[in-house]
Structure 1
Amino acid sequence: MATLARRLFKVALFLALFVLSVLYVRPHRYEWTERESNAYWAASDWLGVRDPDDVYYVVWVTIELIVATLAYVAIMKLWRWYRTKH
């Protein structure tokens, strides 16, 4: 039972970190600069995606997952270090 509780806590922690990264990491600009627009159009053409907004969302979800994963790993390492010290 304790193992299940620990696993559920870890899943909840990761989901909470992901939600926080969605809220605070993504740039909330709605207009792209000309360079950004050209880059997203080129990437969407290269990938065969019709809409560059789709590429934009995939890029930012990937970045947010990386941020959430790094935060999760850091919290787990700090927790293990804290438990070995006490």
Structure 2
Amino acid sequence: MPMSRPPYPPEFRRQMAELVLADRSPEELAKEFEPTTQSIRIWVAQAERDEGRRDYGLASAEKDELARLRREVRQLREERKI
């Protein structure tokens, strides 16, 4: 079974996205640093959604709120069963 590594810190992800937005290619950054090209592209897309540059998908704040609401609904359903 392959070893998994801990997630990259948010600051690192933000820096990678900023480098891509400053005209560095994801492929170039993937060779220089450890993450895959696809990971870097995902981080760039999320950064663009957070900044309002992309119309589709959820911004980070919206994802956090959705996760919180889902946890709350799950907890309320469990309490109702009891």
Highest relative contact order (Cα 8 Å, sep 6+), 1 or 2?
1
- The structure whose residues are more often helix, as a share, is 1
TM-score, scaled to structure 1: 0.36
Please identify the structure whose Cα radius of gyration is greater: 1
TM-score, scaled to structure 2: 0.38
